[in-house]
Amino acid sequence: MPPAVAALAPQAYLQAQSRWHPLEIAFWLSTLLPFFLFPNYLSLTSQIAITALFALSLDLILGYAGIVSLGHAAFFGIGAYSAGLISKFGWGEPLTGLVLASVAAGLVGFDVSFVISRFRHFTLIMITLGLGLLAFEAANRAHWLTGGSDGLQGISMWPVLGLFKFDLYGYVAYIYSLAALFVVFLGVRRLINSPFGLALRGIRENWIRMPAIGADSRAHIRKAYTIAATIAGLAGALLAQTTENVSLESISFQRSADVLVMLVLGGAGRLYGGLVGATIFMIARDQFSGIAPQYWYFWMGMLLVTVVMVLPNGILGGLSEFYARWRRK
């Protein structure tokens, strides 16, 4: 074997795969900019952080394991209603509420995962769509508990860590949501770079080969789905706590579809795709609805069609391709 063909030893190569890129550090530093640049938009940036967290959870199952879902808002909604109800029934401490609400969503996700892990593709789209609709109607019918179409009222959060009261300007809300996003992101990033993350990519790349290398794909999917549901629930809980309100919209098909759009816009299976997609989606929605409040989805449709046609792997996919071509020159 000629020397220096492989630039790195195998272990060093795989370790380098998970090293922090300067762009990543720049990305996270830039999430602090709104405090200085747009102090009047902190409630929007807080919602962006929450939506990004939701998109991150979908990326884990869709982008990495290739498990399609059209009903992911069910877990977001369960987290949101759980957090709201915990507060309404007298426990307004945010952090414990957050944990309990995401555990609730995770438990439901664990149950559902036994069904999910047995199906693929089109069947799975229909099953998740159906489950999402079931969750929505359940929340709608249980008016006595959830407030139905009136929304869940009467949520009142205690100060975060007993010190920081949620304020009108959204300072605390944004710090709180951003911190949660960052902590969960670190966990997901670790997961993606672990043997389990590799197994998820294996499932996405070749579902048939997995059993032939001794892998129990269904067990992997159940685990990933439960984790994704927990994170989605956490995102829902954050929204309930920071807005002190839960509407039916949080468990609607629209939210399931929107998060899918965000992930496709940003680039699925790229860790940052959901974050970038959610940011663009939320800012675009804010701007477009300023232009035409009734018809903003028209512009969103235009944006989606254009991005998908020009950049089939999403914005991040397009950028990394461009970067690779530029480096080769």
Partner 1 sequence: MSTPTPPAENAIASRTIALATRGLSKAFGSLPVARNIEINLPVGARYALIGPNGAGKTTLINLMTGMLAPNAGQIMLGGKDITELGPQERVRRGLARTFQINTLFAGLNALEAVTLAVAERRGLAGQFWRGLGSHGEAIDEAYEILRKLRLGESCYQVTRELPYGRQRLLEIALALATGPKVLLLDEPAAGVPQEESGEVFEAVASLSDDLTLLFIEHDMHVVFRFASHIIVLVGGAIFTQGSPAEIAADPGVREVYLGKRKHG
Residues that bind partner 1 (CB under 8 A): 1, 5-6, 10-18, 190-191, 193-199, 201-202, 204-206, 208-216, 219-220, 223, 227
Shortest distance (Å) from residue 85 CB to partner 1: 30
Shortest distance (Å) from residue 167 CB to partner 1: 36
Q: Which is nearer to partner 1, 11 or 294 (CB)?
A: 11
**For residue 229, what are its two tokens?**
């549901």
Q: Which is nearer to partner 1, 21 or 89 (CB)?
A: 21
CB 136 within 8 A of CB 252: yes
Q: What are phi and psi for residue 267, nearest 5 degrees?
A: 120, 110
What is the CB neighbour count within 10 angstroms for residue 101?
Answer: 28
Cα pseudo-dihedral 199, 201, 204, 210, rounded to 10: -30
State the Cα–Cα distance between residues 79 and 102, nearest whole angstrom. 6
Q: Which is nearer to partner 1, 142 or 186 (CB)?
A: 186
Shortest distance (Å) from residue 190 CB to partner 1: 7
Q: Which is nearer to partner 1, 15 or 123 (CB)?
A: 15
Shortest distance (Å) from residue 219 CB to partner 1: 7
State the Cα–Cα distance between residues 134 and 251, nearest whole angstrom. 10
Q: Which is nearer to partner 1, 182 or 201 (CB)?
A: 201
Q: Which is nearer to partner 1, 188 or 278 (CB)?
A: 188
Shortest distance (Å) from residue 196 CB to partner 1: 4
Q: Which residues of 210-242 are buried (b: 16+ CB within 10 A; e: fewer)?
A: beeeeeebbebbbbbbbbbbbbbbbbbbbbbbb
Shortest distance (Å) from residue 138 CB to partner 1: 31
Q: Which is nearer to partner 1, 162 or 325 (CB)?
A: 325
Angle at 58 between CA 190 and CA 289, to 5 degrees: 125
Shortest distance (Å) from residue 210 CB to partner 1: 8
State the Cα–Cα distance between residues 235 and 105, nearest whole angstrom. 10
Q: Which is nearer to partner 1, 49 or 234 (CB)?
A: 234
Nearest residue to 157 via CA among 236, 247, 249, 238: 238
CB 50 within 8 A of CB 285: no
State the Cα–Cα distance between residues 87 and 296, nearest whole angstrom. 34
Q: How far is CA 179 from CA 44, 184, 284, in A?
A: 16, 9, 24
DSSP letter for 51, please: H
Shortest distance (Å) from residue 77 CB to partner 1: 26
